[in-house]
């Protein structure tokens, strides 16, 4: 069966999500080029690997050559001191879009984060038309990426789907994780939709499964046809019920960003 | 069992939708009056037929006499030169509402079209409160009908449900059809809701089934209680996946109107 | 198994909803304190009862002592002359929140009503951000309660979930009831979500089951994770279909408030 | 010259605003009936006076007989214990609208207050379509009045203009007063517009002069044609400039309600 | 001094507005081509005249040849039987845009009307993003024109400014005229802005002077920089003040369309 | 006379705006600390100067010590290669807010730019609640600053006014400059309001004078009380009128960003 693309690039392949997604990427292209700063092990069938420092303009250009589309999951993916975030997430994304532009690549799927809106309250319903409210350096760096990719769409017609990924780990064990959980199969579906929908323009979509509570309204990306088939409801019984009002005074329950409220900003590297 | 109405009128009965809907109309009324400019064949049980040129004021008046409600599917239903559209869809609708007003008929279900908004992009989410963006003479003529019927509601209290019908054919074979597909049973359900909901005022609703991707948000018509039970998901495997970026540059993928972008306006009759 | 609360208070326990809910409250707390002006019968296991006139400041203070949270269902629950409504619903709610504030109670679930918006049309889609449109003294008194509790949240951080309860009786037998029906199990689920969600701030939510037609959009309370599992669809066949246009001229079909349009205001006590 | 009305009623004539407005009311009607619980002194030319306890249904009925329109400024006009507010502002307003309804009076101008929205922040822009955020019992009682009068419009077609009056004293001496100041001539103009505009329906308008800073957007009442001709800019030099950050931590600078944040609610009468 | 255009076309030059505007058009172009079905008298300096039936495709094509821009004021400008409205305003506008498209003309200024929204209430604030609410055949025909020109912008990049002209006569003598009055100099300014602003896309703007009351919010056309310098305030003393509640029951005071509510639709030609 | 502050910091004092603003800053504080990477000449009365590389964390900390408030105009102020923009505008702003946070400084006025929204069309009306649409690296870097300062407000209560400065040069000579022009006195007024308004939270305001055309709606900052007293109308006669359709095809007339559309992004440093 013909695959949709000849070659796609997946950056950040050695990271947590990268490792879990790797076995699912083969359906999208004849060749999946996996990239990371860290070692990726041997390439499997239909894979090729490349070491790349995103902060290095030339390496990024080389990494992007010859691909049809990019899944950009590389960079720092948690709260950190600003220096490494700036190198990987800010300069790295600038380098990537310069390459995309010069090489005529048509579409990017950008791994953004729910921490772009972590300072919204847990009683808010957030959609993609509302102003970002990041909860730390990491979140601000992803706002930068969303804004930069918007520019490349408005000015040059390069399409990007920004996925504000929720809590994407195998299990959810507290209230916040229950609400923001994203199952791996659902993420794969969302990647598929983001890659194969004929037009995506510049779209911000929220990566969550069909969980009981919802903080995010994905209406602006409804055309993608993403329909989650997993749900955090399966983990509900692991989250204790007792309403201990004292514990519940914690600020991390008030804001969507959760523990990132305590984490950032990191002034000490 | 008592049927809701004594007599209803269905115009455009010889058309594509008319022929497919005809067997389903008996549930609504003791007598279904079928009308068209073309031959309708012999009347079946509970049917009566009438030949009518919508552009002829007197014929229209006669056609409407004695009915409780009207399903107005008559007129030109595709892009055409302006002259026939004007006669059937503009003058015809004016004639119809004059008759409705004079005869004291209380409710009309008006077959409008998704081509009233065909110039929205395929990445947009459109609802009934947004300004129309027609994609040709046909679409503009239906905007006219929606606007005229709005006037008859605002000024005279005559109720109309405008159904912006999607792609209503047995099968969907490309991306646009998958997104806009309307199954026949769902259309029948929507007609039922439009006829029997106690109050409808002037309502614009979107006629689609429960397809994976959605371009239209039907929130303004939620009170109708329409709940599609069909889905274009059944046809998904007929639509090829391969993302051929070249082919995908076609303007008909950019706008919701699809091939109507190439069709209209027809300057040559 | 540990229950979420040590002691909760349920007011209005002798009323219609009170009697039906009583058997379901034990899951929320070790002790359920039931209160009403009327006799409540003997306390069952895990119950304690108290007689209380909501208009009496001291009685209310006593009633509230020692509880972790309150389900406030007490007061007049239908259209009435203004005097009793003022005593129970206005003065009573003022007394309650004074006690809540002085005693340091953290959360109230307030039984509001769909009659706070009964003058919206049956073709409208109402959400919690839209201005109230009450349909009588009863509705206005509940607007008062919603507004008072909003003040206690904005100024003192006391959390309240206002549930605009629909038609909560065992069966639905007309159009309005079909649209606004709330099953008891769904109400219990909504109480659970309102009590146990870590943060609720001041939230207005709509208490309906998953009925076919919808007049209300609960998006502002989506974070609660309420997911109705009952539906009035089971009663649809009891509601006659016949569209008798004459009967349908009744004003109670035009406005969401239904028969309350005829009831209020009661100038004669 | 013919005056617009034969007889109008002005309640609260002995209050602060009542005394200042009294000399300006003669332009509206041949006879101005002044009412208050307190002594009003001798009636001047074109005046008649009446003593009335708003909480007394019969007195209110008598007070309203024979008038064409009402300017309802009576009641408690500041934060107070709840009992007097309930009697004058809640029961009093209920009594008034009962009389208005029974006597067929067509229009009321209702003195509401900016304290219906005192819990909005001083950095917010508030309009009449946004939910009230009262800052105490007084504010909540005025939300009640706005909601009650809305009901009388929706259900019975009785028109009311609710004026959310700003700081209406001769001089402004601090930041909050500068922003919310309403000059007396502007108030008179606003009364004139509220009485004489052919249609007002139920309208909430913001009573401020053309001050430099604005917290309120009066767009929903633009049809009234109110055009303030006074400005608090004349008092700007009386408000000291020094930005003493310590003093500025006061909560009364954060919320629009100002000192009412400290005043209410009054639990001790 | 160089004029902005070489040749512009003004249709409807023999009409009321046409005659009053004619002396002001010379500033826009070296040659002003005046067109009408009726006699236009001798051409003055810088003028040329043409007789044209808008319903005649060939005549319209000839009329449009060689012009840089069009001010389209031709057609029926009041409530009428449908037949003449259809010929002049519907078929006529279709013919005009076909010519514009084929001839490569870049911009049209289209004389639309406030009667596209005459069924909004006089207490509403209407902007260009809200759905039309026409008050008769005339209003519906202008909705058609706005929608058709939208299509030509969306599909072919032809720019149109639709001016919803208010009451454009020398004097205002009643409430509605006071509110909707448009002074001639202001109209000329608006034409100038519509012709000379570098980009206008498809814009709907409201043609009123700086009158005290406002029903329309022109925010979507703010970029045009139109700043009315006339005001109906000069006529205010001609409009009697007396609030005669009986007379004020007239439906023409309730809706923005005024007497058009009584005029339309004209079933008898 | 007492000045509002003891000491304020103005960064970027050697830049274009810095030099023009310098003589106007003395009114705000007893001591104005001027900072720049470039030479600032000798300090005048009430001034002190400091050389500072914004990319140097320690230098920035030292620069900020002992000040009450900051006017942050430093950094790159036009389209440039990304490296210098990243150092000055991204790292520099991060360093600044770290210092502000650690030193307990309460308020920053941040010189943002209209290029954060340069990809909106010249027919759009933009307000501060709409998503940014930057037109190059420079614009994206300012989006970063707005987002970072939002975080410091949401998380730590540090107030910032972001001024999206328009075209702030002595004279306007083309259409875009006419629309976006900001007079120096108006800018000084805006700085005054931004510094002295008791509460500003995190506010984005648009820095333009009272020009005829408007692309920006400053409603979200209306509380600031900024009232421009200058206007670009004085330069209108310098902008030629002639509508040369060919020239007008330039993309820089389509988007608000103007020539920045051609400038960025600069891939070659």
> From the list A2, A199, A225, which residue is nearest B254 (CB)?
A199
**Window C:123-182, CB contacts with B under 8 Å:** 123-125, 175, 179
Q: What is the per-residue pLDDT for C206? A: 98
Mean pLDDT of B190-212: 96
B83 domain residue, yes or no: yes
Number of domains in chain F: 1
Q: What is the per-residue pLDDT for C37? A: 96
Nearest to E73 by CA among E25, E106, E111, E36: E111
Q: What angle do CA E47, E4, F245 make, to 5 degrees?
A: 120
Whether chains F and B touch (3+ CB pairs under 8 A) is answered by no
Please give, rounded to a whole number of angstroms, the shortest distance from the CA of A248 to a CA of chain C: 6
User: CB burial class (10 A; 0-12, 13-18, 19+) of residue A184?
Assistant: middle
Residue E240 has pLDDT above 80, yes or no: no
Per the document, the length of chain B is 269
What's the CA gap between B221 and B219, in Å, rounded?
A: 5
> Is there a contact between B196 and C241 if contact means CB atoms under 8 Å apart?
yes
Mutate to test the interface with A, among C222, C227, C228 (most CBs of A within 10 A): C222
| Model confidence pLDDT, tens digit, residues A188-199 | 999 999 999 999
Nearest to E91 by CA among F149, C215, B81: B81
Residue F244 has pLDDT above 60, yes or no: yes
Residue E244 has pLDDT above 90, yes or no: no
DSSP letter for each residue of F103-147: HT--EEEEEEEGGGGTTSBTT--EETTSPP---SHHHHHHHHHHH
Q: What is the per-residue pLDDT for F238? A: 80
Whether chains C and B touch (3+ CB pairs under 8 A) is answered by yes
> Is there a contact between A253 and C199 if contact means CB atoms under 8 Å apart?
yes
A72 domain residue, yes or no: yes
Mean pLDDT of D99-122: 97
Residue C269 has pLDDT above 80, yes or no: no
Q: What is the per-residue pLDDT for B251? A: 85
> From the list F91, F134, F144, which residue is nearest A140 (CB)?
F144
A251 pLDDT tier (thresholds 50, 70, 90): confident
> Is there a contact between A243 and C199 if contact means CB atoms under 8 Å apart?
no
Q: What is the per-residue pLDDT for A269? A: 58
E3/F contact by beta carbon, under 8 A: yes
Mean pLDDT of A116-137: 97
Mean pLDDT of F126-131: 97
E269 domain residue, yes or no: no
How many Cα atoms are found within 13 Å in the side-chain-facing hemisphere of C210?
Answer: 10
Residues of B designated catalytic: 138
Mean pLDDT of E85-104: 98
| Model confidence pLDDT, tens digit, residues E10-42 | 999 999 999 999 999 999 999 999 999 999 999
Helix (H), strand (E) counts: chain F: 8, 9
A203 domain residue, yes or no: yes
What's the CA gap between B67 and B36, in Å, rounded?
A: 16
B242 pLDDT tier (thresholds 50, 70, 90): low
Q: What is the per-residue pLDDT for C139? A: 98
E241 pLDDT tier (thresholds 50, 70, 90): low
| Model confidence pLDDT, tens digit, residues C147-167 | 999 999 999 999 999 999 999
Q: What residues in F contact A140, CB-CB < 8 Å?
A: 144, 147-148, 151
| Model confidence pLDDT, tens digit, residues C97-156 | 999 999 999 999 999 999 999 999 999 999 999 999 999 999 999 999 999 999 999 999
Which residue intervals of A130-180 are DSSP H helices? 137-156, 175-180
Residue E162 has pLDDT above 90, yes or no: yes
Q: What residues in A contact C199, CB-CB < 8 Å?
A: 121-123, 248, 253-254
Using alpha carbons, list the distances in angstroms from residue D256 to D116, D119, D134, E144. 10, 6, 10, 47
> How high does pLDDT run on average in chain A?
95
Count CB neighbours of D61 within 10 A. 17
| Model confidence pLDDT, tens digit, residues B39-48 | 999 999 999 9
| Model confidence pLDDT, tens digit, residues F94-117 | 999 999 999 999 999 999 999 999
Give every CB contact of residue C9 below 8 A, 6+ residues apart in sequence.
C33, C35, C63, C64, C67, C69, C70, C71
Report the CATH number that the domain containing residue F221 is assigned in CATH: 3.40.50.720
What's the CA gap between B128 and B220, in Å, rounded?
A: 7
CA dihedral (C102, C106, C111, C117) positive or negative:
positive
Nearest to B15 by CA among B108, B113, B107, B154: B113
Question: Tokens standing for B224?
Answer: 């109708």
Using alpha carbons, list the distances in angstroms from residue D28 to D5, D62, D110, D159. 6, 21, 16, 17
**Window E:5-34, CB contacts with D under 8 Å:** none
What's the CA gap between B40 and B12, in Å, rounded?
A: 10
Cis, bond preceding F265 (omega within 30 deg of 0): yes
Residues of C designated catalytic: 138
CA dihedral (E45, E47, E50, E51) in degrees, to 10, reads: -80
Q: What is the per-residue pLDDT for B263? A: 83
Using alpha carbons, list the distances in angstroms from residue F10 to F14, F152, F191. 10, 20, 11
> From the list C119, C151, C264, which residue is nearest D134 (CB)?
C151
Q: What residues in E contact D199, CB-CB < 8 Å?
A: 121-123, 248, 253-254
| Model confidence pLDDT, tens digit, residues B41-99 | 999 999 999 999 999 999 999 999 999 999 999 999 999 999 999 999 999 999 999 99
How many Cα atoms are found within 13 Å in the side-chain-facing hemisphere of F132?
Answer: 31
| Model confidence pLDDT, tens digit, residues D28-71 | 999 999 999 999 999 999 999 999 999 999 999 999 999 999 99
E208/D contact by beta carbon, under 8 A: no
Mean pLDDT of E241-247: 66
Window from A108-117, E48-57, F250-259 with minimum mean pLDDT: F250-259
> Is there a contact between B201 and C123 if contact means CB atoms under 8 Å apart?
yes
Using alpha carbons, list the distances in angstroms from residue D170 to C45, D12, D27, D212. 65, 19, 22, 17
> How high does pLDDT run on average in chain B?
95
B268 domain residue, yes or no: no
Residue F168 has pLDDT above 70, yes or no: yes
Q: Which of F97, F120, F137, F138 is catalytic?
A: F138
Residue B125 has pLDDT above 80, yes or no: yes
What's the CA gap between E230 and D192, in Å, rounded?
A: 23
F269 domain residue, yes or no: no
Residue F268 has pLDDT above 80, yes or no: no
Residue F243 has pLDDT above 80, yes or no: no
> Which residue in A has a C-alpha nearest to residue C7's C-alpha?
A243
Q: What is the per-residue pLDDT for E242? A: 56
Count CB neighbours of A101 within 10 A. 15
Count CB neighbours of A1 within 10 A. 5
Residue F131 has pLDDT above 70, yes or no: yes
pLDDT above 70 coverage of chain F, percent: 96
Using alpha carbons, list the distances in angstroms from residue B29 to B192, C174, F201. 11, 21, 63
Q: What is the per-residue pLDDT for F152? A: 98
Q: What is the per-residue pLDDT for D202? A: 98
D269 pLDDT tier (thresholds 50, 70, 90): low
Residue E111 CA, chain-centre distance (Å), reads 2
Domain around C210:
5-262
| Phi, psi angle pair for A103, to nearest 5° | -90, -5
D237 pLDDT tier (thresholds 50, 70, 90): confident
Mean pLDDT of F32-48: 97
Mutate to test the interface with D, among C57, C130, C148 (most CBs of D within 10 A): C148
Residue F150 has pLDDT above 60, yes or no: yes
E229, β-bridge pairs: none
Residue A241 has pLDDT above 70, yes or no: no
Residue C241 has pLDDT above 80, yes or no: no
E269 pLDDT tier (thresholds 50, 70, 90): low
F64, F9 Cβ separation under 8 angstroms: yes
User: CB burial class (10 A; 0-12, 13-18, 19+) of residue C215?
Assistant: buried
What's the CA gap between D154 and D156, in Å, rounded?
A: 6
B26 domain residue, yes or no: yes
Residue F241 has pLDDT above 80, yes or no: no
B91, B54 Cβ separation under 8 angstroms: yes
Q: What is the per-residue pLDDT for C242? A: 56
> Is there a contact between F125 and E220 if contact means CB atoms under 8 Å apart?
yes
pTM of the model: 0.96
B187 domain residue, yes or no: yes
| Phi, psi angle pair for F157, to nearest 5° | 75, 20
E255 pLDDT tier (thresholds 50, 70, 90): very high
A185, β-bridge pairs: none
What's the CA gap between F183 and A266, in Å, rounded?
A: 40
What's the CA gap between E180 and E135, in Å, rounded?
A: 16
Burial C17-29 (b: 16+ CB within 10 A, else e): bbeebbebbeebb
Residue A242 has pLDDT above 70, yes or no: no
């Amino acid at each position: 069966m013909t695959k949709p693309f000849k070659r796609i690039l997946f950056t950040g392949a050695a990271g947590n999500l990268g490792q879990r997604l790797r076995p699912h990427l083969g359906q999208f292209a004849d060749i999946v080029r996996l990239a990371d700063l860290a070692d990726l092990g041997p390439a499997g069938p239909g894979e090729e690997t490349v070491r790349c420092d995103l902060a290095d303009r030339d390496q990024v250009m080389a990494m992007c050559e010859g691909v049809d589309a990019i899944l950009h999951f590389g960079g720092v993916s948690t709260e950190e001191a600003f220096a490494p975030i700036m190198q990987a997430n800010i300069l790295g994304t600038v380098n990537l879009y310069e390459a995309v532009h010069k090489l005529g690549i048509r579409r990017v799927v950008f791994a953004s984060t729910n921490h772009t809106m972590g300072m919204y309250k847990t009683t808010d319903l957030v959609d993609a038309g509302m102003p970002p409210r990041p909860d730390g350096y990491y979140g601000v760096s992803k706002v930068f990426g969303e804004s930069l990719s918007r520019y490349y769409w408005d000015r040059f017609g390069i399409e990007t789907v920004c996925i504000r990924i929720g809590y994407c780990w195998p299990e959810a064990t507290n209230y916040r994780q229950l609400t923001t959980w994203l199952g791996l199969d659902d993420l794969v579906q969302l990647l598929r939709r983001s890659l194969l929908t004929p037009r995506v323009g510049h779209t911000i979509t929220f990566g969550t499964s069909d969980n009981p509570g919802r903080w995010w309204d994905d209406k602006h990306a409804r055309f993608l046809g993403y329909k989650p088939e997993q749900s955090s409801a399966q983990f509900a019984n692991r989250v204790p019920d007792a309403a201990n009002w004292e514990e519940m005074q914690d600020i991390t329950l008030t804001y969507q960003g959760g523990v990132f409220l305590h984490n950032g900003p990191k002034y000490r590297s």
